[in-house]
Every structure is written in structure tokens, then in C-alpha cells.
Structure 1
């Protein structure tokens, strides 16, 4: 059976030594975040995830969710009890605003706990994950009355939330949606329509579910300019916050899925359900993107988290499994064979995953700090700069991390050989669960198009120029240390290629937009490589400095340098192929007639 150990030491290293979160004492939530508090939160989070969530992952996948004849849905055995402990532990309010009962701690700590939850039980983590997106939208676009009515219970965890976007005939192209919102005399709306693929759409974990639903007003303009967002609770909520009668939100079915079986992905029918406008009429996309951007970073972390738990199990297996002899000479002379970890190709697969996991964790947590700065930095300039960077990084974190995360789940399964294909070892579940992250919350091809078509040219390229400057400063800071030459050389070459790719797209996408479309995925992954190389350069500088001092754990820092060198020497060269693919343009991609495929 699979196991999981939360990477608490690595998270602490990134938070305290690489990102130095202690420098942000002036930000709300950071003043109390000492290294001791960080350690306590991470340790308690690890205990909860390892002891309560991970043991339910395999059984939850096998049992799945159940829809009953009355339309109600129950989660697998043990999930409700685990959710109650999640609420009792205060985890639902960890980063939420104190005005609504939250603890107000930095988002970056929430990112750490989120990774732990996903690694231990992806399907379970989705229930509070969807609530976080709904709370973000209500917090930013809801009226004061709506905030007071819904947020305290959601922050507490006794109510959960969802996002209702997709319909049977439309996914990414929301301009085609048909769900209707009919105004009522009391200021509410009757919502009617069908939504599909609704994660956590119905369940028995909370006493109410607050659905956020995209719909059209009767006089709405066509397309995306005519979309509004509505709060539609499963059970009506009284003025005093009490839970009332059922609100005609019916669960038609639970989707039969490849993975994440323990999360109730539902088809929901709205039959005149009572809803309440959030934000301005026909401006629902703005509110939706508040939810979507939060969700996309969270989904990117699903790629990391699944890769981490798959890697851990593969490494354990590789150390124990005896098979063959080392090609460089026997390593286990007293045994019938050597452990498979002696084989270079097994080590290649493990090193690929390890190098990705540690650098993508650093990038995710950097993004968490940027989210905090975007919300709470002292000056408008600082807030805008952080928001620019979060916007630029979001499609990369979502697209690259989930593509690589799935790749490393598969390679970790490969290390098990035939045993990886057998359900009892749990590796095939990691592969199945990880696969969805490349698809939902905007398929990865859409992320690449968003990066190239929107994020790069936004505000005259302000964000990408800021990234180049930040990366150049990190490289310059490390250049004086000969131990870091492999890092600074590879990062410098990667930045040069990223700049060249960016200029090529700017020059060639205008004359033929298909050039941008044809090269967008390669560009996204090229950018991802540079981002992870940047993280490795930062971590290597910290590790090298620590080894120059009086450290009690030199092995930890030496391993950082070794793993980072592997990434810079073995993975960063892939950038050259990606650059060539981008500069090849769209001609051959678009040459065949549709009938010839």
C-alpha cells in the first residue's frame, strides 16, 4: 500500500531560507509568522494529512461517491469524519480574513498545507479547494450583506462552495452558455439550466453548499459580455443565517471518471433555484476569473503534489526491490541481486521527479508570497508589481506543473514495473488522479494560449520585463561563486533563449496569429524550464552559503546542490529544442486539410 511523508523540512527551507518570509513583518498576517510558528503549523498539518487523509485515499478511490434515489450524495467511508477533524482543526480558516472568523495567516502557508492535502488525498482536497475559490469571489465582489451572510459559515467550514461554469454544449467558450437568470420582484433571480463537471457538486460533508453559478439575464448581450454570476445555495439561507428549505438544485448524476473517484463530480440541474447576483450585471467573467485564477494555481500544485507522493513511493520501492546486478559491479554481494536504485535509468527517473518537485515547490511558494504582496503590500506600485507577476506565472504553474507532474507520476509507476500496473500498490491511482489536472480549470493548451496571447503583451510587456530583471538579479547574485557556475551558465543561456523566443513571437504572431498558437505550448514549457532553473539558482546560492557557515545538516544542503546541478545539466538543455519548435512557425502545423487527418 502507498505511503506519504509531508516534506516539512523542504518547505521550511524554502519559506525561511530561500524566500525569507520574515522580511515581510509589515504585511498583515506575517507579524506573528516566526520560524517556530511555521514549524508548528507544518508539523500539525503533516500529522493531519499523514494520519487522517492518506489512509482514506486508496479506499476512497475504490468506493467512490454514491448518489441515492432521493438525489442526495454521500462520500466514501471515513470522509465525513475526516472533514469534521479538518474543520475542528481550524484548517478551513487558516488564511481567511479574521473579520469572518479566519486566522488571517499568509497565503503562502496555505499553499504548503494545500500541497500536503493533495499529496495525501487529492479527491478530499478538492472539497475545501473549491470552497476557497468561491470564498475569494464573494470576498472581492460580494456586497457587505452577502459577505456577512455566507463567509463566516464558509470560513468555519460548516458550509462549502463550488464553481458552476461548464454546460453540456460549452466548456472553455463560455460565450455559448445558456443557463438563465430571471429577475424576481424581491431582487433575487430564478436560475434554470444544467451544469456539468461540477467538482464537489453535492456531498454529505457540510450542512450547506454555496454554488457560484454563471448565467444570463433576459436582456443580456450575446457572448461573454452577457454573463453574470450568482450565489445559489443548495438550501436557502435566512436573513439570520439559518439554513432553510431545499433550493431546487438537483443532482442528476455523478460523472463516471478516470480518477478522483472520491470527489463527487456532478451534473447539476437548476430548476428555478433562487439565486442572488454577485458583482455587476453582465460582468460575471471578472468574478469568475477571481475563482479561476485561484483554482489554476491550486491545480498547478496538484501536479507537484501528485508527483511528490508518486516519487516518494517509487524511491522507497527502488531501494527495496532486488532485481539484476549493477552494470558497474555488484553493490549487494550478500544478496541474490542488487536493489534497482543502482541502475542509472531508474535513478534518471527518480532524479527527474526529485529535481522537478523541489524546484516547483519553491516556485509555488514564491507565487504564494506574491499573492500576499498583491493583496497587502504597502504601496500601490508594490501591489501592482506582485499582481503582474502572479498573472504571468499562473498559466505556467497550471500548465507546466500539471504536464510534468503527470509525466513523473507515470515514470514513478514505471519504476515498479508490472507491480505499478497492479492496483494494490497505488501507483496507477496516482497516474489516474494526476491526469485530470491537465484538463480542468482550463486545459493546458488554453493556458499556453493565455500566456502567449494575453499575459505577454499585457501592459506593454510589463510583467515579462519584470521577470527578466528579477531573474538577471538572481543570476548576478550567484555569479561570484565557482560552485554555482553550472547554475549561472545554464540560467543565463535559458534566459537568452526565452528572450529570443519572446521576440520571435512578438514579431511573427502579428503577421500570422497561428504562429503564436503553434508555438504556445513549447513557449510555455520553455518558460517553465527557465522558471525552475531560476528557483534552482536561488536555492543553490542559499545552500552554498549555508555550507560555508556552521550548519548542523550539511547533507541536506549538499543534496540540494547535487539535485540542482542535475536539473541544470540534464533538463535545461531541452530549451534548445523548444526554441527550434517555436521558430519553426505554423506552416507545417496548418498545412493539411481537415479531411486528411
Structure 2
């Protein structure tokens, strides 16, 4: 089964559920007409399906190759595909027109990124990180830095990376040792080692722009003394032509479980020349611009890999003959029935559909909040959208990647023993998606961020607005009999999330271990509630289509999946509430040597 980009479902979410046309008066949205968005997604689907998808297995089996001259060769076909990607203008889709971009809403760009990641996650990581580098410089760079770097990053001619992790520190960046020494001419000399740098060296682009966290001599200890630097592979001249090779070298590649087609590098900065971005000792705040964008992109990876795995599992279940249906043969002329007749196989497929399609709507809705935070005409609307974006980013990252991995695992289960072999794509989906639960901040760290920082921000303003959003939707649709089970499920989940929030307020402050022990369950309860809201919106649109006489089975199918979500997936919310209210006492009672 070859990956099929989910254009129909993406258009349904963008047009019918999110109603992008409502925002046509806002900058960027005016050009995103329904016809143009459809053309963009159709063309992206053709490129992803015909060019990137066939290279997915190639990249997995072949991997990247490091040479002693510190260069890296990407898998066969990647370089030519990347050139096609650049020539078609795909990297510029969401970039500012002032720097050569097309200025379309981020949510449209995200739909294209989902397809490229679903077709070939390892390949899609190269331009994905480049856009994050673009965003960080756009937000914090000087005008000269923007003029020099942004057009080349937006075009895809230059790539970008972020250099955070060091051998002795990952999440705790306050421990980093990479140092920066002022050179007297406005530049700095950067020295230190960075590890796990995705795309840190490759043969796809003419230059690589590393964003490096380092500590200027004499800076305060901890995170308060971290600065951000632009460190290009080749030092550019003022006109953008390439000058001398910089002092950054790839010492080798990591041997990884998955994403073999992406070069995960160990980089040594040997007095590399770098330029400060923004103010001294304020680098972490700027890097978080890139990291938060990356976290949305990682949530996208969870959905994208789950979509591919679901497609493969559904096709296999309809073709694989094994056993007979419990209610009698459904394929009487054959030796056995297709396994899709079995209730447990259907359970796994419907669980996958509920998570992938509801998760996609949640992902796109969150990305839309980012667009509205920048472009909405009303200040209150911009603030609300910005609050939602901050609140939901850790949920998008952690919940969608946890669920994406589970979908891929169940898709392998549906394939039985064949799924465990390398003859079918399930192993790669499962291996590739697993990293998404770890990088850009592990999912446990995302849960702590949600509970420890995001809930309390501005006196709880964001989460209170989220509760109000759900209450308003439930109230507006309470008299719709056709939607009654869906709205009831949403209302119950919202009540459970609110109860969990109050419990954290009462118990987390008194004993921080209670907050830590509850954090993962709270995040998953939040994710399930968010998906309940999305499925309520999906069901409303679909029910209206059916009631209007639309016989397209697409809408009737949506209503079935929505009911499955409420009946068999959403009840997990209550279990998460009960677990988090158990507190931390048992978790923290054993001494370390008892484990």
C-alpha cells in the first residue's frame, strides 16, 4: 500500500470545519481562496505521493553516509527530490512576501507539511527545521540579518538547524558549556560540541545556517546567561555569495532506531564565527520561537505517520483472508473471510480513524490560532488566540505523538506477523514515529510545562477561555437531537478536565510532587477533551450535509467515527481523572534502590 496524501480530509477540515473563508479579510487569508488552497494541496499531494513516498523506504534502508572529510551524503534520490521541492517553491509557502515568500496562512503550510511528513518523514525534517530557523531570525534578528538570511532560507537554497543539546545536557539547558568569545568586530568565536543535530550536515543545500546556544564569557550561570548565535557553515559575503568555510564540522552520525534518511549529527564548533541574534543572555527566549514551532511540527509527525499506518492497515484488513466472521461467512465463495469482519480489528481501525482525523482537526485548529494571534484585527481576539496557542502547544506535541505511536503499533498488530517483518512499511512507521515522543522536549516535559507553567499563566486566563469556548459550543448545540450523544460526551469530558484543573490548583501548590505525578494524565485528559470538541464540530458539519440530502458516504462515515470516539475512546478521560487524583504518595514512597 503506497501512502495516499489525505487531501479530501484536509480540505474538509480547512473549508467546512474551520471555515477559512471567514477570515478572508485578514492578511494572508485574502489570498487563500478555496480554489487556490485546493490547487496547492492537489499539487503538493502529487509531489509527495509520486516523488517523496517512493524514497521513504530508500532512505530507511540506505541511510545517510558520513565521510572522514566531515561531509554527509543523503540517501539516493534525496538531493534530486529536494531540488524539485525548491524549484516548485514549496519552502516559501508560509514565508513573508518581503523575503520572497508567498505569505499564506501557517495552517495551509501545515497541511502541505503533513503530506510531506507522511510521505517521507526523514526528508520532511530538513525543510521543517529550516522554517523554524527562518522564524527565529524573523522574530529576533537585526534587519541586516533578516535581509541576508531570510530570503535564502525561505527559498530553501540554504537550510537551518538548531544547536541546543550537548553530551552532558539536554532538557536542562542551563548546564550547557559551549562558549562564545567576542572577537572585537561584532562577531564571536564559538567553541563546544553539540549532539543530535538534525540536518547538521547534508548535501542538499549550498549553505547551512546553524542557530547555536552558547554562553558569552562572564555571563550569568544557568538559563539566564544563554545567548543565541547565527553560525553559518559557509560565511556569507554581504551580497549573499559564499565565503570561507566556517569552523563547524560534523564528527559523525548517530546510529538510530528510525528516521535513517535524516542526518543526525555530532557537531564540533572549533572557534566557529558566529553573530549574536537579539540581546546578550536572551537567547533561550528566541530559541523557544523555533522550538515551539518545531513542537507543532512534531505533533504533525505523529498524525502523519499514523495516517500512513492506518491506510496500510485498512487496506491489509480488507484483503487478508483469515478465519470466519463470528456471525457466519461473509466471503462464502472464498476459503476465509477478510479480517476486517472481526470486531477487534475494526476496533483498532476505528480507534485509529478517530485519533488521526480528530487529531488532524485539532492540529489545524491550533495552527489557525497562531495565524489569528498574528493577523486578527481585534486585539482581544489576538490575545485569546495567542493564549490558546501557548496553552495547546504542549498538548499537540505530546498527545498527538503518544497517540500516533499507538496507532502505528495497532496497525502493525492488524498485520500480524507480516507487520513485524521489513517486507511491509509498518516497521518503518513505528520506528520513525517513536522519536516524536522524545525530541523537542520529551512528552513528560511537555506535561510538566502544561501543568507547571501554562495553566497558571496570567492567572489561568487561557484555560478559563478554553473552558468557556467548550461551554459555549455545547450550549449552542444542546437542542440538536442528532448531535446529542456527541455534545453530551464533550460536556462530560470538559467537566472532568475542569475537575482535574481544580484538583491541581488545590493539591499541586501544597505538594509539587502531586502536580508532577498528575501531569501526564492531565495532559491526556486535556487531549481527549480537545478531540471531543473537534469531533463535535466535525459531526455538526457532517450531520448538516446528510440532513441536506448529500449522499456522499464521506459524511455518513464521519458520523460513525464520531460516535465511536465518544463511545469507546473518550471514556478514557474518566480513567485519567481518577489516576491523577490518586496523588503522588505511592509513586514517591519507594526508595531509589528499591527499583
For 1:36 and 1:582, how far apart are their aligned partners in 2? 47
390-399 or 472-481, which moves further after superposition? 472-481
* Partner SS, residue 461 of structure 1: helix
For 1:385 and 1:96, how far apart are their aligned partners in 2? 24
Task: Give 1:219 shift.
Answer: 1.1
* Partner SS, residue 423 of structure 2: helix
Which residue is 1:564 aligned to?
562
Task: Give 1:381 shift.
Answer: 2.1
Which residue is 2:210 aligned to?
211
Which residue is 1:342 aligned to?
341
For 1:105 and 1:3, how far apart are their aligned partners in 2? 29
For 2:30 and 2:325, how far apart are their aligned partners in 1? 53
Runs of 4+ in 1 over 6 A off after TM superposition: none
Which residue is 1:483 aligned to?
482
For 2:539 and 2:378, how far apart are their aligned partners in 1? 31
Which residue is 1:323 aligned to?
322
1:264 matched to 2:263:
yes
Which residue is 1:588 aligned to?
586
Task: Give 1:245 shift.
Answer: 1.3
- Structure 1 unmatched ranges of 5 or more: none
Task: Give 1:255 shift.
Answer: 0.5
Which residue is 1:108 aligned to?
107
For 2:578 and 2:384, how far apart are their aligned partners in 1? 31
| Contact preservation (8 Å) 1:159, 1:210 | yes
* Partner SS, residue 586 of structure 2: helix
Task: Give 1:46 shift.
Answer: 0.3
For 2:36 and 2:126, how far apart are their aligned partners in 1? 26
* Partner deviation per Cα, 1:38-92 (whole Å, 9 max, x = no partner): 1101100100100000000001100000011211001000000000010011100
Task: Give 1:550 shift.
Answer: 4.5
* Partner deviation per Cα, 1:322-379 (whole Å, 9 max, x = no partner): 0110111100001000000101111111000001111011011111211111111123
457-466 or 470-479, which moves further after superposition? 470-479
Which residue is 1:123 aligned to?
122
| Contact preservation (8 Å) 1:518, 1:586 | yes
Which residue is 2:134 aligned to?
135
1:62 matched to 2:61:
yes
Task: Give 1:385 shift.
Answer: 1.1
Alignment of 1:299-310 (within 5 A): 299-310=298-309
Alignment of 1:359-398 (within 5 A): 359-398=358-397
* Partner deviation per Cα, 1:207-232 (whole Å, 9 max, x = no partner): 00000000000010000000000000
| Contact preservation (8 Å) 1:95, 1:105 | yes
Task: Give 1:554 shift.
Answer: 3.0
For 1:376 and 1:38, how far apart are their aligned partners in 2? 18
| Contact preservation (8 Å) 1:138, 1:146 | yes
Task: Give 1:97 shift.
Answer: 0.1
Which residue is 1:227 aligned to?
226
| Contact preservation (8 Å) 1:519, 1:585 | yes
* Partner deviation per Cα, 1:121-144 (whole Å, 9 max, x = no partner): 000000001101111100000000
Which residue is 2:147 aligned to?
148
Which residue is 1:184 aligned to?
183
For 1:32 and 1:168, how far apart are their aligned partners in 2? 46
For 2:79 and 2:584, how far apart are their aligned partners in 1? 51
* Partner SS, residue 115 of structure 1: helix
* Partner SS, residue 153 of structure 1: helix
For 1:262 and 1:73, how far apart are their aligned partners in 2? 11
| Contact preservation (8 Å) 1:208, 1:234 | yes
367-376 or 318-327, which moves further after superposition? 367-376
- Structure 2 unmatched ranges of 5 or more: none
* Partner SS, residue 587 of structure 1: coil
For 2:494 and 2:533, how far apart are their aligned partners in 1? 9
- Give the paired residue count: 595
| Contact preservation (8 Å) 1:478, 1:537 | no
Q: TM-score, normalised by structure 1?
A: 0.99
Which residue is 1:523 aligned to?
522
Alignment of 1:158-557 (within 5 A): 158-551=157-550, 553-557=551-555
* Partner SS, residue 220 of structure 1: coil
For 1:506 and 1:117, how far apart are their aligned partners in 2? 41
For 2:384 and 2:284, how far apart are their aligned partners in 1? 23
For 1:544 and 1:60, how far apart are their aligned partners in 2? 43
For 1:252 and 1:328, how far apart are their aligned partners in 2? 61
| Contact preservation (8 Å) 1:203, 1:264 | yes
Task: Give 1:204 shift.
Answer: 0.3
For 2:340 and 2:145, how far apart are their aligned partners in 1? 56
* Partner deviation per Cα, 1:169-215 (whole Å, 9 max, x = no partner): 00000000000000011110000000000001100000000000000
Task: Give 1:529 shift.
Answer: 0.4
1:157 matched to 2:156:
yes
For 2:417 and 2:486, how far apart are their aligned partners in 1? 37
* Partner deviation per Cα, 1:7-39 (whole Å, 9 max, x = no partner): 111111111111100011121111122211111
* Partner SS, residue 180 of structure 2: strand
* Partner SS, residue 196 of structure 1: strand
Q: TM-score, normalised by structure 2?
A: 0.99
Task: Give 1:251 shift.
Answer: 0.3
* Partner deviation per Cα, 1:442-496 (whole Å, 9 max, x = no partner): 0000000000000000000000011011111222222221111110111111111
